[in-house]
Every structure is written in structure tokens, then in C-alpha cells.
Amino acid sequence: MSQPQTDPHAPSRHDAAEPYADGPARTASATPVERPSYRFYPVIVAVFASLLLISNIAATQGVVFGPIAGFPINTDGGFLLFPLAYVLGDVLSEVYGFRRTRLATVIGFGIALGAMVYFQFVIALPKSEGTDAASFDALLGLSAPQILLGSLLGFLVGQTLNAWVVVAMKRRRRDERQLWARLLGSTVAGELADTLVFCLIAAPVLGFTSLSDFVIYTVLGFVYKTAVEAVLLPFTYRVIAWVKRHEPDYRPVGA
């Protein structure tokens, strides 16, 4: 009895749709497949990069509250916006995976670095009469390049670690449950790395020269940023759920 002939060009059972290891699903087949549509990815990346740029400029201003319970609360002007960048980083990591979150991080890093380079170019140009060059230079000049360096390197290290933890935990479980554990675990790892890198480089320039001031500044920065993300967890949950529901090519892990 002859065996049935197999068409070598027919799709195999391994060509069925399967989710990305770290993001939305794609369908493999013998015919060309359209690239996945990421409807909201460009918008999220634009806001993500904007928050980084604004918070980096604001971080050049040291801020002190208190004293509270006998201790001054030392921080910088980026204290309010910077945690929001990590919230969007969580959204990117959970929905789009590590590779696209890393791309968004590099884009944000490049925009912030490019802006600062251009500011220095403008400062070096001849000034028109009546221009308040000193104020512009004081705000955007690199009189303290350690702040820019610390902020950018801290963001790059912290956000990359944040994304890696989210995706690694999701891969390990192979399901969508325990989102809270992924978000909090990644926040602790990412914010700790970010804050430590930034403070080691920039704290002396911001006036935190003693060991006690450095420790307070570092611990406060880490605790504050982590607490903000914890408080915003219900909001982050809703944003992630909404994006997953409306992103055309997103497929839950294990689906």
C-alpha cells in the first residue's frame, strides 16, 4: 500500500501561531506574513522619552523638604516625573517585551543626550543683544556634567534591568497571572540600580558631600520612587489591561 504524498511546501504543524517569547504574537507560515501592528507603541515611546528629557533638565535643581522628624529631605527636581517613566517602562515591558522596551530606552537615552549636546551648541553661539545668556547657561549648560551623566547612565541601567525582570518572570511562569509581582519585583531591581548609579555620580555636585547626606539622598530616592510606583500600581494595571485589549496583535502568553 503506497504512502500518501506530502507536499514539501505545505505548512507544518510547527507553523501555527505562537506568541513571541517576550511580546505580541506572530504567525509563521509558508507565505509572507505582515509585520505585527503596534498601534500604541509609538505614542507610549514618545511620552516615555519626553518624561526622561524633562526630568533630566529638572534634576539639575536640588530640592530640600523639611526637616521632617529632625531630618532634611533632600532630592532633586526630577522627583515627580521620573517614576512615571518607569511606569511606562512597565507597560512597554509587559506588553511589547524586552527587545522593544530596550529600543524605547535607547531612543529616550539618545533624545536626552542629543538635546543636551544641542543646548551646548546653542550656548557656544554668539549671543544677540539683550539675551539673558547667563540664565540659559545656568539652566541648560554642562557646568555639572555629572548630573547628566549620572541621570542617563542610571536610566539606561535601571530601565534595562526593569524590563529584563518583567520579561524573565513572565517567561518563567508562562502565563499572565501575578502581574503585581512582576511590576513590584522589576521596580525594586530597576529603581535600586538607577538610584545607586545616579547618586554615586551626581550626589556630590548636588551638594550631598557628607556620607550621611549621601546615604539619606540615595535611600530616600529609592524608597520614594519605589513607593510612587507602588501607589500607581492600580493605574498601571488599568493602562496595561487597556493596551493589551486594544493592541491588535497582542496575544497572552500561553494562549
The pLDDT > 90 percentage for the chain reads 24
Give domain status of residue 11, yes or no.
no
Query: Per-residue pLDDT tens for 17-32?
Result: 333 444 444 444 445 5
The pLDDT of residue 32 = 53
With respect to residue 30, please indicate whether it lies within any of the assigned structural domains: no
| pLDDT for 69 beyond 90 | no
The whole-number pLDDT of residue 103 equals: 95
Q: E strands within the chain?
A: 18-19, 25-26, 62-68, 71-76
Q: Give mean pLDDT, residues 65-73.
A: 76
In a domain, 158, yes or no: yes
CATH number at residue 50: 1.10.1760
Question: Which residues form the domain of 42?
Answer: 38-120+141-246
Residue 193 lies in a domain: yes
The answer as to whether 253 is a domain residue is no
What local confidence, expressed as pLDDT, does residue 254 receive?
54
Cβ-count burial 62-92 (b if 16+ within 10 Å, e if not) = beeeeeeeeeebbbbbbbebbbbbbbbbbbb
CB contact set of 25 (below 8 Å; sequence gap of 6+)? 17, 18, 19, 36, 249, 250, 251, 255
Q: Which candidate, 119, 148, 192, places its Cα nearest to that of 58?
A: 148
pLDDT band (50, 70, 90) for residue 92: very high
Is 178 contained in some domain? yes
Percent pLDDT > 70 in the chain is 82
Cβ atoms < 10 Å from Cβ of 200: 15
Domain contains 126: no
Number of domains composing the chain: 1
Q: What is the pLDDT of residues 132-151, one digit of tens each?
A: 888 778 777 766 677 778 88
List C-alpha distances in Å: 86 to 31, 64, 73, 229, 233.
Answer: 39, 23, 22, 8, 11
Mean pLDDT of the chain: 79
